[in-house]
Amino acid sequence: MRFRLGSREYAGDARLVMAIVNRTTDSFYDRGLTWEDTAAYARVRQVVAEGADLVDIGGIKAAPGAEVPVEEELRRVVPFVEGLRAEFPDLTISVDTYRAVVADAVLAAGADVINDAWGGWDPEVPAVVAAHGAGLVLTHTGGQVVRTRPHRVEYDDVLASVVDSLTSQAEGALAVGVSRERIVIDPAHDFGKNTRHSLECTRRLGELVALGWPVLVSLSNKDFVGESLGRDVGERVPGTLATTAISAWLGAHVYRVHEVRETRDVLDMVSVISGDLAPMRTTRGLA
């Protein structure tokens, strides 16, 4: 399997870091740290220096909160994408949006990928992505309403639901012209799932990888990590990194994260252990 994100082609053993850059005032994790332009550009420069392969820009937090009109989402993300494309001509830029009109605008501004984090809520998104020849991340939310939290959600088999939903979405995207090599699938931990569901998706991630699509996991500091360890936001990095290592061993390809340097080290160490990457140096016992 080979896949493309932006102008770059990757092999099936790729382990890529997607750095989160929030253009919001109320993100659950950074609390508006990159709301201002100066801070947002500084964040991108930092994560690129730390080894990020791509960035994911979001103008609306996933959790419940104040309504963000289309015009406001456009204001938050379109000029920023334009500025990033001018400063980083080769950087792969993803935008986290569930709205087709926003997808169209950011792709025209220079973005490469649309991260449709709400599982096809707007059915026009794939056609827009196809028209631009861009990449598309498809997610499983179990039919959850946009920006709502799951409540007593049940599945007979959560991974079967994930596989059925993502397979259907991928086939639909192909039917409207999205390139097969530019489709990525994401089980969407926490989205439409309780902690036990997210843990099962992690445990059985190899079944999703076996479908033959590149798999993205968004694990960073999420509630399933916090509930598993009894840790509040801000204390979940070790649990996130442990889950990252397991996901990498099971074959996931793209990791959407807050902590870039730490994630890059984890992924590279897994790649060295698996034999996909050579050690940086091997002098021990030779001198």
Active site residues: 222, 256
Backbone angles phi, psi at 126, to 5 degrees: -60, -40
> For residue 52, how many other CB atoms are within 10 A of its CB?
24
Give the other-Cβ count within 10 Å of 18's Cβ: 29
